[in-house]
């Protein structure tokens, strides 16, 4: 029907993006033929690391400008130093630029961390997919939505920002990243980005470390990390959407995974009764 055409076009665009992220048109080249090849791993790592480096430099410059060590306009045609307070709207611009740079930094750090932690702790399952850049259409759509919202806010509501919300976002991201990283390291070879339906020889029920309190710390960490990224951008709409979407996703994923774990491990029921999920209302 005609009124569904925009949704169809959007779906096609997302499919095209996922196709690019999955290297579907590169299969003719041996080094990109599957997710285990070095070509895919090297290219993704190079792009993420380069983007991370550029935004780390940008973030440092913005911080130095904010604290007054650098001129807000590094190239001033008059040759005079311009204080931040003298630049109309300057504080808003610096704040928005700082939010964006920190957002990109945590995004790149997350994807690089996913790969390298998997490579160290469970090398047998490591592949280009371990970067999680081609996680799903929903993940790609969420990232694009938050970017569009931030761009619209820059143009129409540049002063609608809260440094306190920004700092809360950084705290949520840091705690979420640490929680997920601790889960992956503690699990070791038992960790996998995909739900395991069959019990492998190295698959054990991990109940030590962070798992002694949280039974799904990788999901809990990802939930707070995802919401935190939108608090960093001070995106009100995307914060709500991310929170609701992640909550819904993990509700069904955890329910399915726990059903599977109860079949694989007879002691899981007792373990579940003395641990927590950590995501609100789950």
Q: Is there a domain that residue 143 lies in?
A: no
Same domain, 206 and 108: no
Domain range for 41: 18-134
Same domain, 167 and 281: yes
276: DSSP letter? B
Same domain, 241 and 118: no
Contact 173, 236 (CB under 8 A): no
Q: Where residue 82 falls among pLDDT bands split at 50, 70, 90?
A: very low
Contact 159, 92 (CB under 8 A): yes
Of all residues in the chain, what percent carry a pLDDT higher than 70?
87
Q: What is the CATH number of the domain that holds 242?
A: 1.20.120.1630
Same domain, 90 and 187: no
- 143 to each of 140, 162, 181, how far by Cα in Å? 5, 21, 21
What domain count does the chain have?
2
Same domain, 78 and 186: no
Helices (H), 163-235: 163-187, 217-233
Same domain, 238 and 206: yes
The overall average pLDDT reported for the chain is 87
- Averaging pLDDT over each range in 18-22, 74-78, 188-192, which range is the top one? 18-22
Domain boundary among 134, 163, 183: 134
Its pTM stands at: 0.88
Q: Is there a domain that residue 54 lies in?
A: yes
Q: Is there a domain that residue 139 lies in?
A: no
Report pLDDT digits (tens) over 178-210.
999 999 999 888 777 766 666 666 678 899 999
């Amino acid at each position: 029907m005609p009124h569904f055409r925009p949704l169809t076009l959007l779906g096609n665009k997302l499919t095209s993006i996922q196709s690019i992220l999955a290297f579907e048109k590169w299969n003719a080249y041996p080094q990109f033929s599957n997710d285990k090849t070095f070509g895919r791993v090297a290219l993704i790592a190079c792009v993420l690391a380069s983007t991370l480096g550029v935004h780390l430099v940008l973030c440092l410059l913005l911080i130095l400008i904010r604290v007054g060590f650098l001129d807000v306009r590094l190239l001033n045609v008059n040759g005079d130093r311009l204080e931040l307070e003298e630049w109309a709207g300057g504080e808003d611009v610096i704040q928005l630029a700082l939010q964006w740079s920190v957002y990109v930094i945590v995004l790149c750090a997350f994807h690089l961390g996913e790969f390298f932690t998997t490579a160290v702790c469970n090398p047998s399952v490591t592949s280009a997919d371990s970067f999680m850049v081609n996680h799903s259409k929903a993940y790609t759509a969420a990232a694009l939505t938050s970017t569009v919202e931030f761009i619209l806010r820059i143009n129409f509501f540049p002063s609608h920002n809260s440094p306190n919300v920004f700092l809360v976002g950084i705290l949520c991201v840091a705690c979420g990243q640490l929680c997920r990283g601790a889960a992956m390291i503690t699990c070791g070879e038992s960790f996998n980005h995909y739900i395991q339906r069959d019990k492998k020889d190295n698959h054990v029920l991990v109940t030590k470390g962070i798992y002694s309190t949280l039974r799904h710390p990788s999901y809990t960490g990802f939930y707070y990390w995802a919401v935190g990224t939108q608090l960093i951008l001070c995106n009100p709409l995307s914060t709500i959407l991310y929170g609701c979407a992640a909550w819904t996703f993990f509700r069904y994923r955890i329910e399915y995974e726990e059903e599977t774990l109860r079949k694989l491990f007879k002691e899981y029921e007792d373990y579940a009764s003395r641990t927590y999920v950590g995501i609100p209302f789950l």
